Chain A
Amino acid sequence: MRIFDPHIHMTSRTTDDYQAMHGAGVRAVVEPSFWLGQPRTSPESFHDYFDALLGWEPFRAAQYGIAHHCALALNPKEANDPRCVPVLDTLPRYLVKDSVVAVGEIGYDSMTPAEDTALAAQLQLAAEHGLPALVHTPHRDKLTGLRRTLDVVRESALPVDRVLLDHLNETTVKEAAGSGAWLGFSVYPDTKMDEDRMVAVLKEHGTARVLVNSAADWGRSDPLKTRRVGDAMLAAGFGEDEVDRVLWRNPVAFYGLSGRLRLDPPDDPGTLHEGNSILRGGE
C-alpha cells in the first residue's frame, strides 16, 4: 500500500515516526504551516519555521525514504494577532520555492474580520503563484464556517477546484462536495473523524476528490492513521485500486496542480546526495 499523507505536521514528530510511517507505506507527505501551540509574536518566528519546512524537515524525511513538500501560510488563529500579520509581506518570497506545493493552512478559526482579510489575501497569493490552497474548516461552528469559507473562495481569483477543504465530517461533506472543491478528512484517535466513520463516508460519497490525512501534530494524534483507513477500507470491501486512489492518486492530483510535486524516491540512506552522504545527519 503506497500512502501520501496530504496533511501532517512532521516538525512536531520524532524520527521514530518517520521510520514507522515508512514501514506502514508512507512515501510522501505535505506539511502545512500551522500554529505551534505556543503563540508566535513576530514574523521572524514564521520565517524560521518556514526555513524548517523548506530545509530540515525534507532532510529528515529523505533519510527515511519519504518525499517531503510543504504548504506555507499565516494560519487562521495567528491572523488575529497584528504582530504576526506582517508575515504576509514576506510570504511571497517563500511561495516561489520549489518544494512549496500549496498555500495553507488558511481558513477560519473564530471567523473574525482579521481572518476574513488574511483568507482573502492568501487565496489571492495562491492564484498569483499558480498554487492550490489547503483550507482548514473551523473546529467550532463548522458548518457556518464552511459556508463562509466557500463564499470567500467564490469571490476570490482562485477557482474552487484548486481548493482542498480540510477537516470535513458527516455534517459538512455534502455541501463541500457540492461546491466542486477537493475533500479532506483528518482521522484522529479521539476527535475529528475515525477510520470507521471515514469508511462510511466513502461508501456514501465515493472516492472521487477525497483525501485522507492524519493531521498528526503535537496533540493526541497518530501518524499511521492513513494506513489504518486503508486497512479499514479493504476490510469493508473496497478494492486496492480504490484505496490507492484515496491514499495516493488523489493527493498526487491535488498537489500536482502546483506543477512542483517531485515524487521520485528521495535518496536512500547511505547513498550519496550531490556527492555527500545524508545518512547520519543528526547523529
Chain B
Amino acid sequence: MTVPRPSGTRTASVAASRAELEERLDGAARTWLSEALAEAAHAAEQHAGQPAGQDVADLTGIPVPPPARPAAWELRFASAGRHCGGEHAAAVRALLLRTARPGQDALARLYRYGDAAERRAVLLALPALFSGPEALDLVQDALRTHDTRLVAAAVGPYGAAHLDPHSWRHAVLKCLFTGVPVDAVAGLAKRARADAELARMLTDFAAERTAAGRPVPGDLHRVLALTVPPEAS
C-alpha cells in the first residue's frame, strides 16, 4: 500500500488549523509549537525522500521494534500536554501528525509507545493519513480496550470506512455496553441501514438487560430504528 502524500488542499487545511490553534496559545506555547512543527516538517521531508516501499511494514507486525532514539518530533508529540496545556494537547498532536505524515512504522510506534491521549490522537488522525485499510489493526487494538476514550476514537470515520461488518457491529454494541454515545460512531445511519444482523444483536442485548432488571441504553433504540430497511420505514 502506498501512503498518500499531502495534497494542496490538505496543506491549506493544516495551515488553517495551525493559525486557529496559535490564536489560543500563549507566547511560550506558540514558540514551542513552532519548533515542534519545524521538526515534524523535517521528518516529513526525510520520509518523502525515502525510496518507495521502504516504509510499508504491516501494522500487524507486533512487537514493533523501538528505535534507539525517537525522532525529535515524536518526543514533542508525547509532551504536548505540559507544554501547550492539557486542553490544547489533542489539537497540537493532530497538527503534528498531519505535518509529519508518519509512515506505517512510525505511526505504529507512536501508538505502541503512546499513552492513552497519544493513542487517541493517532486514531483520530488515521483518515488524514491513510486512504486504505492498512492501519486497521490500530483500530482493532483500541476496540479491544474498555477505555471509552479509545473506543470512541476507534469508531470514527476511519473505522466506519474499513471495519468489516462483524467487527463494526461489535464496535457499535461495545459503545452501547460501555456508555460511549453512538453519536461518536461515524456513518452510523448509512452502515446500520437494513442491517438485520445488527438489529438481532441489539434486540438480544435489550432482552438480556431487561431480564436482569437493568435499563436498556436509550441509544439502543435509536440504533435499532436505523436498522429498518428503507422500504419498511
Contact = CB atoms under 8 A, between A and B. Distances in A.
Interface string A71-110: 0000000000000000001100110111100000000000
A281 interface: yes
Nearest to A43: B66
B115 A99 contact: yes
Contacts, number: 82
A275 B148 CA distance: 11
Interface stretch (B23-31, B158-166, B179-187): B179-187
B222 to A, nearest CB: 15
A184 B68 CA distance: 35
B75 A96 contact: yes
A199 to B, nearest CB: 36
Given A59-B147, A281-B179, A276 B152 contact: yes
Given A44-B63, A275-B152, A97 B78 contact: yes
B137 to A, nearest CB: 16
A279 B179 contact: yes
28 contacts: A54-B116, A55-B116, A55-B147, A56-B147, A59-B116, A90-B66, A93-B66, A96-B75, A97-B79, A98-B79, A98-B115, A98-B117, A260-B82, A262-B81, A273-B148, A273-B149, A274-B90, A274-B152, A276-B149, A277-B179, A277-B180, A278-B179, A281-B146, A281-B148, A282-B146, A282-B178, A283-B177, A283-B178
Given A56-B145, A59-B149, A274-B149, 12 more contacts: A56-B116, A89-B68, A93-B70, A96-B79, A98-B81, A98-B82, A262-B81, A276-B180, A276-B184, A277-B148, A283-B177, A283-B179
